[in-house]
């Protein structure tokens, strides 16, 4: 069981420490960003059929986001919000399939790296939900969310890069904007019940997306992703997508135009080819598939797919040099 964190400080499983473990990027020093704000809402309701918090809030009668909302302000030194604690009390159960968390609070701070940490105080599932968005002249933000069941982040209007870390989550939906974004998601769940999803739409830029196993706790003991369905879209740019650390129930990966590298895990994953893409896929296994989007195999594009260091396919301007019998979907 994780240690309880006090407002303004971070415990032994701190978001800052885990950020350092997954990324070596240095946060950009904040500049004056006029009329821009980061808004984060919390809550404890939900619905068993919902995959995103907007839908969950509608189906639960507004209980999915029934807690406190915090909003940053802008100034000459960047985004401002004093460290503090936000409440997310017990939601009123509403509608079929609805269930609340036990009630709890979230510690938040703007750390020395210029990034935002939002950390559940108490055990996993004491606060279910967090929803974050940017408004106004939206430069990217670096944020970390730790020990929430469900996190939705919509930074699709950002005009610079963001670093987004979501640790030990059951459901996550992330949208980023223009810029070389970094998205790290670690998975943790208590059961197959309710939805287990990890969806990322990274927008334009040379993005890095990684989904890996989370930390085992008394409340969430399943961390390898075998109940989780993922949909990843790297968008235009030279993207790196890594699913090697999980065993997903299913995944669909679209790199988008650019020079993309996809590393697959042990699950059943489908890689979708995009016109204008140079695609390298590592870790290709018997349960995986390549969707050519209606194109004829081996015509006018470069695709290199490998498994255990050996080439499985190499489609190089019309030449197929090796094929192991795994499915190609030309539809």
**pLDDT tens per residue, range 257-274:** 999 999 999 999 999 888
Q: Which residue has the higher pLDDT, 81 or 133?
A: 133
Q: Is 26 inside any structural domain? A: no
Q: Is 319 inside any structural domain? A: yes
Highest mean pLDDT: which of 83-97, 129-143, 265-279, 280-294?
129-143
**Whether 195 and 311 share a structural domain:** yes
**Whether 116 and 242 share a structural domain:** no
Q: Is 6 inside any structural domain? A: no
Backbone angles phi, psi at 198, to 5 degrees: -140, 105
Distance of alpha carbon 170 from alpha carbon 321, whole angstroms: 41
**Whether 209 and 266 share a structural domain:** yes
Distance of alpha carbon 176 from alpha carbon 181, whole angstroms: 7
**Whether 222 and 127 share a structural domain:** no
What pLDDT does 226 receive? 97
172 and 53 Cβ atoms separated by less than 8 Å: no
**Whether 263 and 126 share a structural domain:** no
**Angle, CA 140 vertex, CA 137 and CA 143 arms, to 5°:** 130
Mean pLDDT across 77-95: 49
Q: Name the token pair of 80.
A: 């401002």
* pTM for the predicted model, two decimal places: 0.81
Of the ranges 140-154, 198-212, 268-282, 301-315, which one carries the lowest mean pLDDT score? 301-315
From the list 43, 68, 9, the residue with the least C-alpha distance to 125 is 43
* pLDDT category of residue 280 using cuts at 50, 70 and 90: confident
**Whether 293 and 187 share a structural domain:** yes
Distance of alpha carbon 224 from alpha carbon 247, whole angstroms: 6
For residue 113, give the 3-state DSSP assignment: coil
Q: Is 22 inside any structural domain? A: no
**Whether 259 and 225 share a structural domain:** yes
Q: Is 4 inside any structural domain? A: no
**Whether 109 and 216 share a structural domain:** no
* pLDDT category of residue 114 using cuts at 50, 70 and 90: confident
**Whether 60 and 129 share a structural domain:** yes
What pLDDT does 73 receive? 66
Structural domain boundaries, residue 131: 34-94+103-137
Q: Is 107 inside any structural domain? A: yes
Q: Is 152 inside any structural domain? A: no
**Whether 219 and 260 share a structural domain:** yes
Give the N- to C-terminal CA distance of the chain in Å, as an integer.
48
How many domains does the chain contain in total?
2
Q: Is 299 inside any structural domain? A: yes
Q: Which residue has the higher pLDDT, 282 or 162?
A: 162
From the list 153, 157, 127, the residue with the least C-alpha distance to 209 is 153
Per-residue pLDDT for 14 more than 80? no
What pLDDT does 139 receive? 87
From the list 172, 185, 250, 177, the residue with the least C-alpha distance to 212 is 185
**Whether 216 and 267 share a structural domain:** yes
197-233 per-position pLDDT tens digit: 999 999 999 999 999 999 999 999 999 999 999 999 9
**Whether 251 and 284 share a structural domain:** yes
């Amino acid at each position: 069981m994780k240690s309880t964190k006090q407002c303004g400080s971070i415990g032994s499983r701190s978001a800052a420490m885990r950020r350092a473990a997954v990324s070596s990027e240095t946060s950009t020093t904040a500049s004056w960003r006029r009329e821009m704000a980061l808004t984060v809402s919390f809550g404890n309701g939900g619905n068993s059929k919902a995959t995103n918090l907007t839908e969950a809030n509608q189906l639960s009668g507004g209980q999915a986001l029934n807690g406190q909302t915090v909003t940053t302000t802008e100034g000459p030194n960047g985004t401002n919000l004093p460290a503090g604690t936000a409440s997310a009390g017990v939601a009123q159960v509403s509608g079929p399939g609805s269930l609340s968390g036990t009630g709890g609070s979230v510690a938040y701070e703007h750390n020395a790296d210029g990034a935002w940490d939002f950390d559940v105080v108490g055990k996993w599932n004491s606060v279910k939900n967090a929803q974050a968005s940017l408004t106004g002249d939206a430069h990217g933000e670096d944020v970390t969310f730790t020990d929430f069941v469900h996190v939705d982040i919509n930074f699709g209007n950002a005009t610079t890069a963001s670093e987004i870390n979501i640790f030990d989550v059951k459901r996550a939906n992330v949208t980023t904007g223009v810029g070389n974004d970094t998205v790290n998601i670690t998975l943790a769940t208590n059961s197959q019940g309710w939805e287990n999803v990890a969806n990322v739409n990274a927008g334009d830029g040379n993005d890095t997306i990684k989904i890996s196993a989370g930390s085992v706790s008394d409340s969430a003991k399943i961390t390898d992703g075998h109940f989780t369905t993922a949909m990843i879209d790297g968008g235009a740019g030279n993207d790196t997508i890594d699913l090697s650390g999980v065993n997903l129930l299913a995944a669909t990966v679209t790199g988008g135009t650019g020079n993309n590298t996809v590393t697959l895990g042990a699950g059943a994953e489908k890689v979708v080819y995009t016109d204008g893409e140079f695609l390298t896929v590592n870790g290709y296994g018997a349960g995986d598939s390549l969707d050519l989007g209606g194109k004829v195999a081996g015509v006018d594009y470069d695709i290199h797919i490998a498994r255990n260091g050996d080439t499985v396919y190499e489609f190089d301007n019309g030449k197929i040099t090796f094929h192991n019998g795994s499915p190609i979907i030309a539809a």
